[in-house]
Amino acid sequence: MRRSGAQIVWEMLRHEGVDVVFGMPGGGIMPTYHPRQDYGIRHVLIRHEQAAAHAADGYARASGRVGVAMATSGPGATNLTTGIATAMMDSIPIVCITGQVGTSVIGSDAFQEADITGITLPITKHNYLVTDVDDLAETIHEAFYVAATGRPGPVLIDLPKDVQIAETEFSPPDHEVSLPGYRPNYEIDQASIEHAASLIRASQRPVILAGHGVVSAKAAEELRTIAEAAEIPVATTLLGKGGFPDRHPLSLGMMGMHGAAAANHAIQEADLLVALGMRFDDRVTGCLKRYAPDAVRIHVDLDPAEIGKNVAVDVGIVGDVGAVLRQLIPNVIADAHPLWLERISVWRSDAEERELLAHSVCNRLTAPHVIDEIWRQTGGEALVVADVGQNQMWAAQYFPSDGTRAFITSGGLGTMGFALPAAIGAQIAVPDAEVWVIAGDGGFQMNIQELATVVQEGLPLRIAVLNNGFLGMVRQWQEFFFDHRYESTRLSSPDFVRVAEAYGIAGHHASTAEESPDAISQARSSGSAALIEFHIVGEGEEGNVYPMVPAGAALHEMLRRPIAVGGKPRRADG
């Protein structure tokens, strides 16, 4: 078959099983867009290229498949970079295809030229500049392989205009990819498995730390099997949420800066940590010098570079989390840790007491109330896509999730504006799911234009905008650590309901706890997209996320929700 470069792009996307592409056409990629309709691949026209990358990211997280974004040269390509970096930090497999000026003028500062392969070198797993149409099919085949294998990540293909137009003989590659410089190692060291099992059997205060690798590896069942067999409590990272059921008796909830008090205390007092597919990043560990001082550490990760990178470990196992757990299970005997679980229960009870007191005296609408009500009405079955900031932490804390791909957010990069476009991708990936966007008034405005995409694609997204009139997390830091000097954090915002209605989306307001259940019910019953603007508490005790580990503090030195009404936050050990 003789095909142009543009046709080869779509032939290969179809060959790789792609059913949807998120993007926006422009001069540099126009030849590739031209034959798209001949190939039966859906194209979602977004309104900003950053949103295309986020939508491809959300699609990948919700489906477990590779997401695809497409953009033109120059500003189109550079607009992708924040979304590419977001995917890189969170190990999400996406392939981005960008147009480029013709090969004869590359380097001449031609109109809409940008060195996108140079720009994205630090934020892609790999990238390509294709200068010969004969290399294109193999390049696309390699790109999908690299994105999805080993530690997943984003791959970019830059496609000059003349390569898109040029023709060549085409046949889809029918061989496995073999790259001398890229050979993921899936062999698991048996001695390390046996050593880890012996440490688990000997421990009295064990804790499993479940990261995003558990979700990526589809290893939730194996994790549950080993946790229940050895009676080991499980704490999750933000991106590991859903890898272990939040409502399971052994679940400690989320760990880290805004993690559950019981999880943080348990980590600090543990004699063994079993870290699965997580990076020991700074938001998880707190002060490294005082992190889990008495714990022996086992670290399982697909990426050998992560073993010992941030935290020294006693046993490092390189491998797929699911495969490692399957080998560990026969070596771990049934065990019980009643004294350890009893101690954890005391920490849980203290946290519950604080929550009950706080919500019994607050007569204003709070974010926890909103998220809890969404959870109650959906039965916890919704797929939640959270933005970044206070709303992200509240969503993680107050929406218990038992599904492995039911909570999506930007973790490593912390990208405001992520939620709405990522939810577009997630809704397309799982069209029968009830998808909720949880966003703040600041982050929501960063990609608010994608409401048009929601309407054009007929997506039944439910959008909860938690409007507290601030850049909330920054304001909280200013309150705690910068003498209440609220510099550049007060926000004036439009009436989000009227904005939604201008786009053709039903809108609802809620300003009290009494109004919110009905607003949520109406949004859910509409059968189409709906937005609710919740006017929530913006300052003071109920405007903050608790617990909070201050920068430089150890995990157990959390600022806790005050027990006394009107009291000041205090450290957990204070």
Is residue 364's pLDDT more than 90? no
pLDDT value at position 354?
83
Q: Which CATH number is 363-536's, of 3.60.110.10, 3.40.50.970, 3.20.20.70, 3.90.180.10? A: 3.40.50.970
Catalytic residue among 7, 16, 22, 49: 49
Rounded CA gap, 400 and 28, in Å? 45
Among candidate residues 1, 111, 167, 352, the one labeled active-site is 111
Take residue 61 and report the two structure tokens written for it.
Answer: 């997280």
Instruction: Give the tens place of pLDDT for each residue, 275-291.
Output: 999 999 999 999 999 99
pLDDT at position 574 is 35
Domains 2-169 and 190-342 share a fold: yes
Residue 437 Cα to chain centre, angstroms: 13
Q: Let me know if 176 is a catalytic residue.
A: no
Report the residue count for the chain: 574
Confidence of residue 398 (pLDDT cuts 50, 70, 90): very high
Cα distance between residue 138 and residue 492, in whole Å = 51
pLDDT of residue 255 exceeding 60: yes
* 218 is an active site residue: no
Residue type, 391: N
Q: The CATH number of 2-169 is which of 3.40.50.970, 3.20.20.70, 3.40.190.10, 3.40.50.300?
A: 3.40.50.970
In this prediction, residue 535 carries a pLDDT of 97
For the four alpha carbons of 132, 135, 141 and 147, in that order, the dihedral sign comes to negative
Whether the Cβ atoms of residue 14 and residue 41 lie closer than 8 Å to each other: yes
Is residue 161 annotated as part of the catalytic site, yes or no?
A: yes
In the DSSP assignment, the letter for residue 484 is: T
CA–CA distance, 300 with 167 (Å, rounded to integer): 47
CB atoms within 10 A of CB 375: 19
What does the pLDDT read at residue 16? 97
Contacts of residue 169, defined as CB under 8 A and 6 or more positions apart, other chains included, come to 1, 2, 3
Specify the pTM.
0.96
Q: What is the mean pLDDT of residues 350-378?
A: 85
Average pLDDT over residues 79-84: 98
- Examine the pLDDT at 406 and tell me if it is beyond 50: yes
Q: Residue 359's pLDDT is what?
A: 66
Q: What is the dihedral of CA 98, 99, 102, 105, to 10 degrees?
A: -70
Quick one: average pLDDT of 207-216?
A: 97
What ranges do the domains of the chain cover?
2-169, 190-342, 363-536
Q: Which residue is associated with the tokens 């690798």?
A: 213
112 is annotated as an active-site residue: yes
Per-residue confidence at 94, pLDDT binned at 50, 70, 90?
A: very high
Query: Is 473 an active-site residue?
Result: yes
Write out pLDDT tens, residues 109-155: 999 999 999 999 999 999 999 999 999 999 999 999 999 999 999 99
pLDDT tens column, 480-514: 999 999 999 999 999 999 999 999 999 999 999 99
Residue 542 has pLDDT above 90, yes or no: no
* Among 30, 112, 194, 456, the one annotated catalytic: 112
Which two structure tokens, joined as six digits, stand for 46?
């977004």
Selected catalytic residue, list 161, 306, 418, 496: 161
User: Beta-carbon neighbour count of residue 109 at 10 Å?
Assistant: 9
How many Å apart are CA 466 and CA 452, to the nearest integer? 20
Average pLDDT, the chain: 95
What percent of the chain shows pLDDT beyond 90?
90
Select which of 24, 393, 416, 473 is catalytic: 473
Tell whether omega for the bond before 547 is within 30 degrees of 0, i.e. cis: yes
Residue 357 scores a pLDDT above 90: no
Instruction: State yes or no: pLDDT of 561 exceeds 90.
Output: no
Rounded CA-CA distance 174/407 in Å is 36
Residue 304 one-letter amino acid: P
pLDDT the model gives residue 569: 53
Percent of the chain clearing pLDDT 70 (strictly above): 97
pLDDT tops 60 at residue 571: no
What CATH class does 190-342 carry? alpha beta
Query: Alpha carbon of 529 to those of 54, 152, 404, 526, 573: distances in Å?
Result: 19, 32, 24, 8, 46
